[in-house]
Chain A
Amino acid sequence: MPREAEPSTNEQAFLLSALRENIRLDSRAFDAFRPIDLSFPGGPDEYGTAEVRIGKTRVLAKISAEVVAPYADRKFEGVFTIACELSPMGSAAFEVGRQDQSEILLSRLLEKTIRRSGALDTESLCIVAGSKCFHIRADIHVLDHDGNLMDASCLALVAALMHFRRPDVEIHGEEVTVFDVRERDPVRLAMQHQPFCVTTSYYDGGAIMLQDATLLEEQCRDGEIVISMNRFGEVCSIAKYGGTPVDGLSMLTCTNVALEKVKMLDKLVKDSLAADEKRRDAGGLMAELSAENDR
């Protein structure tokens, strides 16, 4: 495996001594994120692609839907899968076709955050119980890796899910008609809540805590705590895999900081979605053509 070159001892010492004087190398505050840019590339009929840039980190999420038979033990639920791809484009340390440790952790974390917490209502994806349902597939592509992949991927995934629309269906008995995007306006996915990941990196046994670490900061850290929660203050998952032990109390301060960040991310996604809608709805025709019912 081509390993990432470790930062030199000088670099590490410089970064750590700067942190001990409350300075980050890019002059951010400890709990500040780099500038986040969220965009929805694609034409007017294309939904479900989101690109996130946090500083130099760049992640693309793409959602697609197809009609499949549901799992035999879950007849009333659709299928939702998340696939992560860490290609060599993102970093020289990623290899094609081999499941690397970070890839497994990333996909497990996204799975826990989005799937296990029930963010996407899979029952709404059922078309005919036991025979037909939608399979929603989310592909995460890391285009550039400069630290904080977790937060960026989670943000991209949630934004893409909220942006995505599946084709509308009509059921007459056993007969199912799936309408093309041009025939009927596609339908949004039923999201129950929007969880976001916030990663905290710590140094000096928990004395220094950073949000949104860059790659260099990640390579020098003692360990990380990934907290995912939604804006209502429900924690969906916490992951602190080993690393240097930290104080039990500082875990709680971490969740408080995470809540603040999650609210910020939530607002960012909502604003970007609204701006995107405005851009697509240039003529004001969409409201008239919509087949969606008010609930």
Chain B
Amino acid sequence: MPLDSSIYTLSALRLDGRRWNELRRINGQISTQQAADGSSYFEMGNTKIVCTVNGPQEQKRGGGRDQSNEAKVEVEIGIAGFSGVDRKRRMRNDKRIQEMQYTISSAFQNTLFTHLYPHSTIAINLHVLSQDGSLLAACLNACTLALIDAGIPMSDYIAACTTGSMASYADKEDEADPLLDLNGLEEQELPFLTVGTSGGEDKVSVLIMETRVQMARLEAMISVGLDGCKQIRSILDGIVRAHGKKVLESKVS
């Protein structure tokens, strides 16, 4: 087992030298692609994602059949073959990816003011260049930045991160510390969940967990996750403000 929990308790440092409540280096850029209406590049440690947004625009297929008075959010995720450790062609109809697409689209469907754009679509394209854990969380954050760049009104940022729990077995209950923002190796070993918040005051918009964990651990994991989301939200806010400043300065001069 690569994660030796005895080492962890001695120095209280993780594999990559972080403490339990530390995020990885987060870096984001806005307006990276000229062709798209909105775009962003987002890094969470070694997970790197390019996101482009097109729209709101007229629906491409099935014109006129759509009776709803809201814009539809369509998400497509492309995972590059070189993004993981082993080179693997992922099929487009992979169920795991389709589930992620659905998660992102339904999360933003409720955060964007879709009622302002009836009979139209907002197309989000995500390209995963490198993956090292927290994939869904990084995708959600990248989408938030790109949608802000596209100028689509939304009620709040969706900020997401992952949390894990040390020791996955019941006999080590006392060692069950929560961990914030897992990397790829930790994600393979430990039970973890992805939390996405929007609307402030600890409102959970997305919560996905796929690994088995004791019920008693959930509370600590969720509260650490909410705290992490708060940190990420302020980082995203910083990126947006810095970009806004730059745009304004270039307009003035």
Q: A interface vs B, CB < 8 Å?
A: 99, 101, 104-105, 107-108, 111-112, 116-118, 223, 225, 229, 233-249, 251-252, 255, 259
Residues of A within 8 A of B76 (CB): none
Interface membership of B193, Cβ < 8 A: yes
Does the CB pair B205–A243 fall under 8 Å? Answer: yes
Does the CB pair A229–B99 fall under 8 Å? Answer: no
Contact of A251 among B99, B109, B204 (CB under 8 A): B204
Distance of B61 from chain A, by nearest CB (Å)? 11
Does the CB pair A107–B109 fall under 8 Å? Answer: no
A247 with B215, Cβ < 8 A, contacts A104-B99, A108-B99, A225-B207 known: no
Does the CB pair A255–B106 fall under 8 Å? Answer: no
Q: In whole angstroms, how far apart are the Cα atoms of A112 and B209 in the complex? A: 9
Does the CB pair A247–B212 fall under 8 Å? Answer: no
The proximity string for B residues 2-35 relative to A, scoring 1 for CB distances below 8 Å and 0 otherwise, is: 0000000000000000000000000000000000
Contact of A111 among B95, B213, B215, B216 (CB under 8 A): B95
Q: For residue A101, which residue of chain B has the nearest CB?
A: B102
| 28 pairs of residues in contact across A and B, judged by CB atoms under 8 Å | A101-B102, A105-B102, A108-B98, A116-B210, A229-B215, A234-B212, A234-B214, A236-B212, A237-B210, A237-B211, A238-B193, A240-B205, A241-B99, A241-B103, A241-B206, A242-B105, A242-B109, A243-B106, A243-B107, A244-B205, A247-B202, A247-B203, A248-B202, A248-B223, A249-B202, A251-B222, A252-B218, A252-B222
Distance of B22 from chain A, by nearest CB (Å)? 21
Contact of B107 among A111, A239, A242 (CB under 8 A): A242
Q: B interface vs A, CB < 8 Å?
A: 93, 95-96, 98-99, 102-110, 193, 197-199, 202-216, 218-219, 222-223, 226
Q: In whole angstroms, how far apart are the Cα atoms of A241 and B212 in the complex? A: 18
Does the CB pair B219–A118 fall under 8 Å? Answer: no
Residues of A within 8 A of B216 (CB): 233
Contact residues of A: prevailing secondary structure: mixed
Residues of A within 8 A of B223 (CB): 248
Residues of B within 8 A of A108 (CB): 95-96, 98-99
Residues of B within 8 A of A239 (CB): 207-209
Q: In whole angstroms, how far apart are the Cα atoms of A117 and B207 in the complex? A: 18
Q: For residue B197, which residue of chain A has the nearest CB?
A: A245
Contact of B215 among A99, A225, A233, A237 (CB under 8 A): A233
Q: For the A-B complex with A242-B104, A242-B110 known, give 9 more contacts whose Cβ atoms are closer than 8 Å.
A: A108-B99, A116-B211, A235-B218, A238-B208, A242-B106, A242-B107, A245-B198, A245-B205, A248-B222
Does the CB pair A246–B96 fall under 8 Å? Answer: no
Residues of B within 8 A of A241 (CB): 99, 102-103, 106-107, 206, 208
Residues of A within 8 A of B198 (CB): 245
Does the CB pair B215–A259 fall under 8 Å? Answer: yes
Distance of B13 from chain A, by nearest CB (Å)? 28
Contact of B208 among A235, A240, A248, A259 (CB under 8 A): A240
Residues of A within 8 A of B105 (CB): 242
Does the CB pair A246–B204 fall under 8 Å? Answer: yes
Q: For residue B196, which residue of chain A has the nearest CB?
A: A242
Residues of B within 8 A of A105 (CB): 99, 102
Residues of B within 8 A of A118 (CB): 212
Does the CB pair A242–B206 fall under 8 Å? Answer: yes
Q: For residue B193, which residue of chain A has the nearest CB?
A: A238
Q: In whole angstroms, how far apart are the Cα atoms of A243 and B199 in the complex? A: 12
Q: For residue B219, which residue of chain A has the nearest CB?
A: A252
Does the CB pair A248–B212 fall under 8 Å? Answer: no
Residues of A within 8 A of B110 (CB): 223, 242-245
